[in-house]
Structure 1
Amino acid sequence: MTRARNLITDVPGLRVGNAHDAALGSGVTAALFDEPAVVSCEAMGGAPATRETDLLQPDKMVPGIHGVVLSGGSAYGLDAAGGVQAYLRERGIGFAVREALVPLVSQASSFDLINGGNKDWGRYPPYRDLGYEAASRAGLSFDLGTAGGGYGATTANLKGGLGSASTIASSGHTVGALVVVNAVASAVIGEGPHFWAGALEEGGEFGGLGLPAHVSPQMRRLVWKGGPQPATTIALIATDAVLTKAQAKRLAVASHAGLARGLRFSHALFDGDTIFAAATGLKPLQNEAVEFTELTALAADCLTRAIARGVYEATALPYPDAQPAWRDRFGSPERG
């Protein structure tokens, strides 16, 4: 069952904001936690671009962090976390070390440097300012598709984008996913319009088409961005459950199944596929082993659905020869 917004912000304790630069062809999405959240991560792609991920490992001392950033810009985009830090510090948010205040913000970036936008930004890239702007816009509602960190995202054959989805576990815990779909491969079966995620769709959230009656060998043919071109799908999973850092790590690992189901294919050599998993800690687990296992399964399902939504909601970039959006090829978002 989905929450009313069907967004990661259905998980109590976090807000999300977007910012983009249309001329640049890139953007930033910032997720801010109301209180420091227990967060871990797992990078399973061969070419990740990340910041402040070592501190998220279970053996590190940091108990919680203040935000997670998903951006475009590849390694340049990692400046965005500095902008989010500046926003938080101005508001007195961070870990106090005597007179110093240090907001902890982790980040992953996707490669969108050759999507047609103007990347001639001069001495310094604009991602720090975009990060600040995204943080300043954080709220419970936010745009999907060609927005925020998904603004410049592409896939092998259709415009990528920012996706999100949520669900409620049988225990009453809420689980949500937020993803920048910038995949080396495809989110649709064959030439489309059906999504690989079709079996998991809730309420027509990405067209209501379900799965085709038969998936032929031709439809399973691998389609991917040709040549040595990096392409990264990055995501944040969140739940209101009380989790340890080790459990958050396991949640991040298990959620990678959502990438494998939503895309044909994932975790390639040139991918930077990275997933953060956050627990806002508002609702304890009662039957820990059973309820946590359900959370890992539902998180992967949410991520699969969010991938399809990111592509489904996207609009084409405003450049000559830009990739078509799903709705350009297959109809209006009301279809189905």
Structure 2
Amino acid sequence: MSTTPSSPAPAGAITDVAGIEVGHHTDPRRPTGCSIVIARQGAVAGVDVRGAAPGTRETDLLAPGNLVEQVHAVLLAGGSAWGLDAASGAVRWLEEQGIGLDVGFGRLPLVPAAVLFDLPVGDARVRPDAAAGYAACAAASRAHPAEGNVGAGAGAVVGKMFGFGHAMKGGIGSASVTVAGVTVGALIACNAVGDVVDPETGQPLAGARTPDGQALRDARRALLRGEAPHPLLAGSNTTIGVIATDARLSKAQAQRLATVGHDGLARSINPVHTMSDGDTLFALATGVRESHPGMMVLATMAAEAVARATVRAVQAAHTLRLPDGTVLPAMRDLGHSLGLR
């Protein structure tokens, strides 16, 4: 089965959005890591949680009816709920830069966060902490961010539906779309229980492999023909990410952008939003562009950027060999350098 997408590799990155910076910190001991999306001038934000087992921080303040209008960064991390500690390091770094909400006694950086479950990869006692979040911020820039086995994608794995031993390496990816002078970009860390598929054809690109490990099983078709999935620990899979635009949006519109971004996950992951996933997407609007082509167009752009970034997460990944001998092949290696065919 081919693992080459029919559509051309997407170009661009979330940092094509004016006012957005991205930094990664990767801990090679496991591996695991965290990624930060920074809006130094603040950004109107929204969030939509679709998975049944999320790990998040500061999501309630993003509700349209709540007081705070802007946040200053969004953190994505491995390490399950322990990884939320990385956000405190990001807050410290941002405060040192004078970035945050003026509360009269200082500037308070607002940093919502979401985590994914990468604990089966290596020593689970190694996870992102405050120092990791601080380091990710210190590394942030406007350059196109690294993709694949870095940051929040360092320990990501996809296709665990039929057992961890038949899964493949996930990762983190980015993409952007520009229409009428307005840009929408996405940064996606994919640790899904399902397969990553080509949004144009539905063809599986990375995910659950056949029992002999030599090809993709196609999880959707396998489930529909009656193959039973392996028991899954709740919350042990998740795709998390950030959508950003330079358009000027209200909080309600930013929340809608996060909501429609999940359409991009539905096009590029199958199955998605399961009881074992904690799928969470944030949206940031920097407001640099005073006009935009309307929410219908922005919604279409957001879904497209998310789908492309999800594909990039597995296209850019590299094969991971664990100390116990488990090999998690990457899309680029399946059936080639691993000698599986």
Q: Please state which band the TM-score falls in when normalised by the shorter chain.
A: 0.7 to 0.9
Partner residue in 1 for 2:132? 130
Structure 2: gaps (5+ residues): 1-7, 160-166, 206-216
Q: 1:168 aligns with which of 166, 174, 178?
A: 178
Which residue in the other structure is 2:5 paired with? Answer: none
Residue 183 (structure 1) shift: 0.2
| Residue deviations 1:14-39 (CA, integer Å, cap 9, x gap) | 10001111113210000111311001
Counterpart mapping for 1:280-319 below 5 A: 280-285=286-291, 291-319=294-322
Higher strand share: 2
2:115 counterpart of 1:109: yes
Give the corresponding residue for 2:153: 150
- Tell me whether 55-64 or 220-229 shows the greater mean CA deviation: 220-229
C-alpha change, 1:224 and 1:249, in structure 2 (3 Å) is farther
Q: TM-score, normalising length from structure 2?
A: 0.83
Q: Aligned partners of 2:219 and 2:25: how far apart in 1?
A: 39
More divergent stretch after superposition (91-100 vs 74-83): 91-100
Residue of structure 2 in register with 1:323 after alignment: 328
CA RMSD of aligned residues (A): 2.6
Residue 327 of structure 1, CA deviation? 1.2
Structure 2: which amino acid aligns with 1:94?
Answer: G
CA contact (8 A) 2:54 2:277 kept: yes
My pick for the range that moved more, 20-29 or 102-111, is 20-29
CA contact under 8 A between 2:174 and 2:313: conserved in structure 1?
Answer: yes
Distance 2:228 2:120 in 1: 15
CA deviations over 1:128-148 (Å, ceiling 9, x no partner): 111111110001232100010
Aligned counterpart for 1:61 among listed residues 52, 67, 88: 67
> Aligned in 2, Cα 1:231/1:126: closer, same or farther, shift over 3 Å?
closer
Structure 1 residue ranges (4+ consecutive) displaced by more than 6 angstroms after TM superposition:
216-219
Structure 1: runs of 5+ lacking an equivalent = 188-194, 201-205, 207-215
Counterpart of 1:211 in structure 2 is none
- State the secondary structure of the residue aligned to 1:221: helix
In the TM superposition, residue 5 of structure 1 has moved relative to its aligned partner by: 5.9
Query: 2:115–2:240: 8 Å Cα contact kept in structure 1?
Result: yes
Decide whether aligned partners of structure 1 residues 225 and 101 sit closer, same or farther in structure 2, where only a CA change above 3 A counts: farther
**1:159 corresponds to which of 148, 154, 169:** 169
Partner of 1:184: 193
Query: Cα gap change, 1:76/1:233 in structure 2, threshold over 3 Å: closer, same or farther?
Result: same
1:127 Cα offset (Å)? 1.9
- Aligned pairs for 1:1-336 (under 5 A) are 6-115=12-121, 117-121=122-126, 126-139=128-141, 140-156=143-159, 157-169=167-179, 171-187=180-196, 195-199=197-201, 220-222=221-223, 226-229=230-233, 230-285=236-291, 291-319=294-322, 320-330=325-335
Cα 1:185–1:85 shift into 2, 3 Å: same
CA distance in structure 1 between the partners assigned to 2:16 and 2:336 by the alignment: 29
Question: Take 1:318 and 1:133, find their aligned partners in 2: how far apart are those partners?
Answer: 26
